[in-house]
Chain A
Amino acid sequence: MNRPVQKYHSTIISGFGGQGVMLIGQTLTSAAMMEKLYVTWIPSYGPEMRGGTANCTVVIDETPIGSPVIDRPTDVIAMNIPSLLKFEKTILPGGTLLLNTSVIDREPTRADIRVYRVNAGEIAGKIGSDKVANMVILGAFVGITRVVSLESVRLALEKKIGEKRPELLAMNLQALKAGENAIAGQ
């Protein structure tokens, strides 16, 4: 974990509709905004969302962002198998692939990227709700990349769900932390 923190990150977050991938992206985006970084979030929208994968792209940088559309991301978060199949090949050499192993039971093929594995479903289940699996993943991602601080993510989440659903917030924060712990040593 002694890698220098690199600020430019282009991240594709992809999964089934309902896995909360849009929220992962939006929370990351809010956190980056709080750190006064430049950031863009774009969703996939329209028919492709109905059936297969939903994905969003987050670009974070210290200088104004050119393309919010990314074909060669620095990182991919794959929440399901179709996402792995679709996006593994697009990652820039040296980039990061984070796998949700509670859904993905197969191995990536690339050797020139860093792969991290988190059983988000199981960890979320222990916390008390499958629904926070997305925050486990986000916690892990922030732990890996350090693109924003976990503290900013916490603040972003507080803003988003804090006021309305305090009990939900507590669980989400726990999930973030658990996610971060889960990649320690990987």
Chain B
Amino acid sequence: MAEKILLKGNEAMAEAALRAGCQVYFGYPITPQSELIEYMAKRMPEIGRTFLQAESEVAAVNMIYGAACTGTRVMTSTSSPGFSLMMEGVSYIAGANLPAVFINVVRGGPGLGDIQPAQSDYFQGTKGGGHGDYRLIVLSPATIQEAVNMMFDAFDLADRYRNPVLIIADGLLGQMMEPVELPDFITPDRIPNHEGWALRGKGSREQHTITSFDLDPVKLEEMNLKNYETYQKIQENEVRYEEYLMDDAEVAFVAYGTMGRILKTTIRLAREAGIKAGLIRPISLWPFPEKPIREAAEKVKMVMSVEMSMGQMVEDVRLAVSGKVPTPFYGRTGGIVPTPTEVFEALKREWEALV
């Protein structure tokens, strides 16, 4: 592997995406993601690939739909309001079983919100957002290196399950710089060719068609059930999470992305103060790492969720814990990033109330 270089998160994700075989990029500028689309504008033509700035996120997502129909590795990136606009297309892409990769560099919301880091699009990403019975595979990196490696994972997962994959980052990860090692470009033979279903002109084979619907409810139910078999497989095989200092933990924090990373410093403060805290950091937000949290709830005295939102993932955490231990929540919203000490103070309050 190459030596480390210093990159902004947005640029690192872009470079990693093209090394992971992204052939086509469509997008629309929006802060705090613009470095990503700008990097693509520069780099994609340089290596003979395709970049196009769409007239809107609505157009971009449908360009993704089209490119995905041809079995080409395709992605887009946006930030919260833009991802809201893409919801219709995401639902169609999921319904049509198409592989595609989305990055949402989340900012404070709702509405126009602001451009500071946030995690308030968890519901939108993991619970639908668009209409209908569908699931996205949702991944969330905590460091730039993890984000880089995740781009490869994301394209592979999208291809393997023929399902859209969403990476939830946030403005802080996008703007941050950290040394990274960039994996080499993957070789074309590692990319599935999708000859069996892609639209490429029928030649001498039978026609291929791709749709996200069936007007016959019996058939549509069959389609959805088949999708749910896939989702089941994803839940069985693709849960990703990190455990940090959980062996002797009396308090389990649950936090993802940037927040998960910040908590590692909080945990140091907690342990210095004699509170044995640990962390379960979901890396896949869907499928959600329900099992390790359920198991932790058997051992610890408290499972505390921390988010850059008013509490969205905490609902999944509470489902996993099922009332076995208290499940307090701490969060900041609107683009405010909780600091390590602030969370430590919140932990102390909860801990003292408990013991």
Direct contact of A and B (CB under 8 A): yes
Q: CB distance A43 to B175 under 8 Å?
A: yes
Query: What CA separation (Å) do A57 and B31 show in the bound complex?
Result: 20
Nearest chain B CB to A16 CB, angstrom units: 20
Q: CB distance B339 to A33 under 8 Å?
A: no
Within 8 Å by CB of B171, from A38, A45, A66, A71, lies A45
Q: CB distance B179 to A66 under 8 Å?
A: no
Q: CB distance B262 to A69 under 8 Å?
A: yes
Within 8 Å by CB of B177, from A26, A46, A66, lies A26
Residue of A nearest to B31 (CB): A46
- Cβ contacts under 8 Å, B178 to chain A: 39-41, 68
Give the size of the chain A interface in residues (CB under 8 angstroms). 19
Q: Is A113 an interface residue (CB 8 A)?
A: no
Q: CB distance B31 to A69 under 8 Å?
A: no
- Cβ contacts under 8 Å, A70 to chain B: 339-340
Q: CB distance B262 to A46 under 8 Å?
A: no
Q: CB distance B337 to A69 under 8 Å?
A: yes
Q: Is A146 an interface residue (CB 8 A)?
A: no
- Cβ contacts under 8 Å, B4 to chain A: 33
Q: Which of B122-130, B200-208, B264-272 lies at the interface?
A: B264-272
Residue of A nearest to B262 (CB): A67
Residue of B nearest to A160 (CB): B6
Q: CB distance B262 to A66 under 8 Å?
A: yes
Q: CB distance A46 to B263 under 8 Å?
A: no
Query: What CA separation (Å) do A96 and B342 show in the bound complex?
Result: 22
**With contact pairs A69-B339, A71-B341, A71-B342 given, residues A41 and B177 touching in the complex (Cβ less than 8 Å):** yes
Query: What CA separation (Å) do A35 and B208 show in the bound complex?
Result: 55
As a 0/1 sequence over residues 257 to 292 of chain B, the CB contacts with chain A under 8 angstroms (1 = contact) are 010011111111000000000000000000000000
In the complex, which residues 145-180 of chain A have their Cβ closer than 8 Å to any Cβ of chain B? none
Q: Is B250 an interface residue (CB 8 A)?
A: no
Nearest chain B CB to A12 CB, angstrom units: 12
Within 8 Å by CB of A33, from B31, B179, B261, B263, lies B179
Q: Is B114 an interface residue (CB 8 A)?
A: yes
Query: What CA separation (Å) do A43 and B342 show in the bound complex?
Result: 20
Residue of A nearest to B260 (CB): A66
Query: What CA separation (Å) do A156 and B114 show in the bound complex?
Result: 34
Q: CB distance A41 to B176 under 8 Å?
A: yes
Nearest chain A CB to B330 CB, angstrom units: 15
Q: CB distance A66 to B6 under 8 Å?
A: no
Residue of A38, A46, A67 ringed by the most chain B CB atoms within 10 A: A67
Query: What CA separation (Å) do A33 and B3 show in the bound complex?
Result: 10
Q: Is A7 an interface residue (CB 8 A)?
A: no
- Cβ contacts under 8 Å, A38 to chain B: 179
Residue of B nearest to A56 (CB): B177
In the complex, which residues 64-93 of chain A have their Cβ closer than 8 Å to any Cβ of chain B? 66-72
A and B contact pairs by CB, cutoff 8 A, 23 listed: A26-B6, A29-B6, A33-B4, A40-B177, A41-B177, A42-B175, A45-B171, A66-B262, A66-B265, A66-B340, A67-B263, A67-B264, A67-B266, A68-B178, A68-B261, A68-B262, A69-B172, A69-B262, A69-B340, A70-B339, A70-B340, A71-B340, A72-B341
